């Protein structure tokens, strides 16, 4: 190609610029192909995490970091995988490296803030989200997750102020509108909560649930029940509706109806832990030990990759002071999930209590 600027410095610069553009375009095509390839270990880590094979996901993430470190650094999937695996220290290190190398890309500072948020280090997360807001004022997460952390800290005035800023920038952003309803709930301003949830219920199924709960808290439970019945007809596959129906029955003191409704949650959404965990808790409070044990065993079978069913099963024996059985169950939890140090401590407590009681 003949350059109009000749072979001087400007012509050389233009040739280099075009060459870099060609390289970037080729890299983008390669990255798109790699991202969906079964031979890509990062993609395999993502798929394994989605089917809850955490050990396999960790293995392939390590392979990806060794084989294709630049791709791992720039691929957004890396953040989700590390968050899902709880690799927070590694994610923070990677995020800081990326932020230094790609100063105009917000994903790295966002990942840095998310790492603190997922660990429930909300004070630190708020500070990191403020940095995101200042450096990348168009970042959605900077506002939305900043509000989430402030809400978790009970700093409602600051949360409302940040919400106002977010709504000025993104007045129709559904995540912002949903968070506005959650902040009103957290403040227990039920009239305002109803206003906010009612305003979005035709656009999002959570609006029905939020509006119904606000009505219940305002003492208008019959209206709340009617609203949820209508919502269930409109949104038959949204799990939040039967869950809220169960919660309202329980808060209204109708435990028999609440247990029935938690059963409906299990029947319609068998992979939703709430249908099991909440019913186990309610049965424990009612001291219906046999039913609680049976449901906990069903949860252990249904959710073998999670520690909470075994923990609930052990806690049932512990609460009813069946010390020998409690010690066995805590030992089983610790054997299956060695990271649960509390299980070892609880086992020791149960054994000590068993000796004292002569059991």
Residue 47 has pLDDT above 60, yes or no: yes
In a domain, 155, yes or no: yes
What is the three-state SS of the chain? CCCCCCCCHHHHHHHHHHHHHHHHHHHHHHHHHHHCCCCCHHHHHHHHHHCCCHHHHHHHHHHHHHHCHHHHHHCCHHHHHHHHHCCHHHHHHHHHHHHHHCCCCCHHHHHHHHHHHHCCCHHHHHHHHHHHHHHCCCCHHHHHHHHHHHHHCCCHHHHHHHHHHHHHHCCCCHHHHHHHHHHHHHHCCHHHHHHHHHHHCCCCHHHHHHHHHHHHHCCCHHHHHHHHHHHHHHCCCCCHHHHHHHHHHHHCCCHHHHHHHHHHHHHHCCCCCHHHHHHHHHHHHCCCHHHHHHHHHHHHHHCCCCCHHHHHHHHHHHHCCCHHHHHHHHHHHHHHCCCCHHHHHHHHHHHHHHHHHCC
Pair 138, 75 in one domain: no
Per-residue pLDDT tens for 202-214?
A: 999 999 999 999 9
* Predicted local distance difference test score (pLDDT) of residue 97: 94
In a domain, 31, yes or no: no
In a domain, 231, yes or no: no
Domain boundary among 166, 187, 208: 187
Distance CA 37, CA 241 (A): 38
The share of the chain scoring above pLDDT 90, in percent, equals 84
Confidence of residue 305 (pLDDT cuts 50, 70, 90): confident
In a domain, 334, yes or no: no
Pair 110, 163 in one domain: yes
Confidence of residue 52 (pLDDT cuts 50, 70, 90): confident
Per-residue pLDDT tens for 9-28?
A: 555 556 666 665 555 554 44
Give the chain's domain count.
2
Pair 111, 183 in one domain: yes
Pair 79, 113 in one domain: no
Domain boundary among 164, 187, 210: 187
Domain boundary among 138, 161, 187: 187
In a domain, 194, yes or no: no
Distance CA 187, CA 195 (A): 14
Average pLDDT, the chain: 90
In a domain, 352, yes or no: no
Distance CA 347, CA 332 (A): 10
In a domain, 318, yes or no: no
Pair 72, 138 in one domain: no
The CATH number that applies at residue 144 is 1.25.40.10
Range of the domain at 47: 38-86
Q: For residues 101-109, give the mean pLDDT.
A: 94
């Amino acid at each position: 190609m003949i350059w109009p600027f000749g072979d001087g410095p400007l012509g050389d610069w233009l040739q280099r610029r075009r060459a870099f553009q060609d390289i970037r375009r080729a890299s983008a095509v390669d990255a798109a192909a790699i991202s969906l390839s079964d031979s890509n270990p990062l993609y395999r880590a993502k798929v394994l995490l989605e089917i809850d094979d955490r050990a396999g996901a960790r293995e392939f993430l390590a392979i990806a970091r060794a084989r294709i470190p630049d791709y791992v650094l720039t691929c957004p999937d890396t953040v989700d995988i590390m968050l899902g695996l709880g690799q927070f220290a590694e994610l923070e290190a990677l995020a800081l490296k990326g932020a230094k190398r790609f100063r105009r890309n917000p994903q790295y500072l966002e990942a840095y803030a998310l790492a603190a948020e997922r660990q429930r280090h909300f004070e630190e997360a708020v500070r990191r989200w403020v940095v995101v807001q200042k450096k990348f004022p168009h970042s959605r997460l900077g506002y939305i997750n900043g509000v989430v952390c402030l809400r978790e800290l009970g700093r409602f005035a600051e949360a409302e102020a940040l919400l106002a800023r977010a709504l000025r920038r993104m007045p129709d952003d559904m995540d912002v509108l949903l968070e506005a309803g959650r902040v009103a709930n957290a403040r227990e301003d039920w009239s305002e909560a109803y206003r906010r949830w009612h305003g979005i219920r035709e656009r999002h199924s959570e609006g029905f649930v939020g509006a119904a709960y606000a009505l219940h808290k305002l003492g208008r439970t019959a209206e709340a029940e009617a609203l949820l019945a209508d919502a269930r007809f409109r949104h038959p596959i949204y799990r939040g509706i039967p869950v809220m129906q169960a919660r309202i029955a329980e808060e209204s003191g109708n435990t028999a109806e609440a247990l029935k409704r938690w059963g409906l949650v299990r029947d319609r959404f068998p992979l939703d832990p709430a249908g099991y965990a909440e019913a186990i808790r309610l049965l424990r409070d009612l001291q219906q030990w046999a039913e609680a044990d049976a449901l906990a065993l069903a949860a252990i079978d249904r959710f073998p990759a999670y520690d909470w069913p075994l923990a609930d099963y052990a806690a049932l024996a512990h609460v009813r002071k069946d010390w020998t059985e409690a010690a066995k169950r805590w030992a089983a939890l610790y054997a299956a999930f060695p990271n649960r140090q509390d299980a070892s401590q609880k086992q020791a407590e149960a054994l000590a209590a068993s000796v004292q009681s002569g059991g």
